[in-house]
Chain A
Amino acid sequence: MSLFRREDLHSLAAPYALDALEPAERARFERHLKDCASCAADVRALSEDAVRLAWSAAAPPPSAMRDRVLAAVRTIPQESAVRPEPARARPEPVRARKSQLPPHVWGAQPPPRQRQRRPLFVPFATATAAAALVVASLFAVQANRTQDELDAQKAQASEIAHVLQAVDARATRGQDAQGRTIGVIASASEGRAVVTLSGYNAPPSGRVRQLWLMRPGEQPRSLGLFAADTPLVASGLDKSATSLAVTVEPDGGSPQPTTQPVVQLALKSVGFGE
């Protein structure tokens, strides 16, 4: 059906490598690439040439950008797997990616360089753009939401932005040997926190993940339930709080934890524990 003969498509390899195609043409060329091994090699070589042009433009980045990006990275969950092609609904099997990833990701050995975790003392109020980016990125990983879910997320996003903009907002993150992470952005003055989990399997059916506030000499207090993979906004955190814990509980949550925490994170570095 294509109006383009093959040789015409081939001639688009150089403009493609230079990002000089219009979106529709780019999409058509990328479809063609999938079935044309020689074009793929051609494009790869031309793209490497184009990247040489990129190198020649290097310039010192603004120093504030570093702080913002590194702070954001502490809270932004990563995509855990290659997104499956629409044609095949099955996600890529784990072993297909295994060879590309260091062994610790798969729990075969502990992370190689688990250096001391430092909190980042970046007041987010001075970095509103970064806050907006964090919020955008938190939701960018979640495709195919319904409008209601999107609306709910938008409301949640503004709550998250509120926490991010607190003068004393700080971020911390913990990672276990399996590479699963818990990220927290908290403001002690507001008693609020945004908590994200990544790398965890969905809880078994009929179960939910519940977030708990741990305080010295007191029972754990529920801060809410995680809905799928969206961040949880918790409020009413006491300054005396020492850590957060996550347990798997029956649907609807429990008044007190009934299982061992799957993860626990100290809050001292984000201004709590007084």
Chain B
Amino acid sequence: MEADELLLLVAGGDQMAFEELYGLVAGPVFGLVRRVVRDPAQSEEVSQEVLLETWRSAARFDPRRGSALSWILTLAHRRAVDRVRSARAAGEREQREARRAHHPAFDQVTEEVEAGLEREWVRRCLERLTELQRQSVTLAYYDGYTYREVAERLSLPLGTVKTRMRDGLTRLRECLGGAA
């Protein structure tokens, strides 16, 4: 069954449908959260929260406004970013940076996963962006920085970063268009 259909059943309290949905989304949710949060224990905790929130608030899902997968992954990303920002605010920033020095941002996590066609496409398409587009998008999405922080890190004006983000996402869409 498709995720959309399953999530509608879950909204009706169907635990079996949730189990099936879990099989579809747990990998993407966990992978995304870990990509952003990095720390494995915290990633697991955030992923659990996201999956339970999916169960709890499934009734809020409106299929007219997007797919179930995008609803769940948007939630996962939001929670992961919240976690990483509060960790930074709590002064763990240096620790994280030190850890990251040993784990190059792009390859480390994905290497251990079996190669997926979609991932390959995304990676290729990311490579086709300009350097600034790619960095603007990935620093925000994979590292959880706000666009202000991205601007600071790249020494760019705010307006430029906002534009690079939009252009980056749009080019990604064009590039991925044929891959779906």
Contacts and interface: CB of A to CB of B under 8 A. Distances in A.
Determine the interface band of chain B, counting residues with CB < 8 A from chain A: 35 or more
A44 interface: yes
A48 interface: yes
A79 B59 contact: yes
Interface in B110-147: 110, 112-113, 116, 118-119, 121-123, 137-138, 140-142, 144-147
Contacts of A112: 9
A264 to B, nearest CB: 18
Contact of B140 (A15, A82, A199): A15
A49 B167 CA distance: 11
A101 to B, nearest CB: 5
Interface stretch (A129-137, A188-196, A203-211): A129-137
Contact of A56 (B11, B49, B110, B168): B110
A102 B6 CA distance: 10
B171 to A, nearest CB: 9
B11 A68 contact: no
Contacts, number: 221
Given A11-B162, A49-B169, A44 B118 contact: no
Interface in A21-46: 21-22, 44-46
Interface string A108-143: 000111010000000000000110010001001100
A20 B119 contact: no
B77 A50 contact: yes
A15 to B, nearest CB: 4
A52 B172 contact: yes
26 contacts: A11-B166, A18-B137, A18-B140, A45-B173, A46-B166, A49-B170, A50-B74, A51-B70, A51-B74, A54-B73, A56-B121, A57-B32, A58-B116, A58-B119, A59-B112, A59-B113, A60-B113, A65-B47, A78-B58, A78-B59, A79-B56, A80-B59, A100-B11, A102-B9, A111-B14, A130-B48
The 8 closest A-B pairs by CB, nearest first: A59-B31, A56-B122, A61-B30, A14-B166, A20-B140, A105-B12, A14-B165, A58-B31
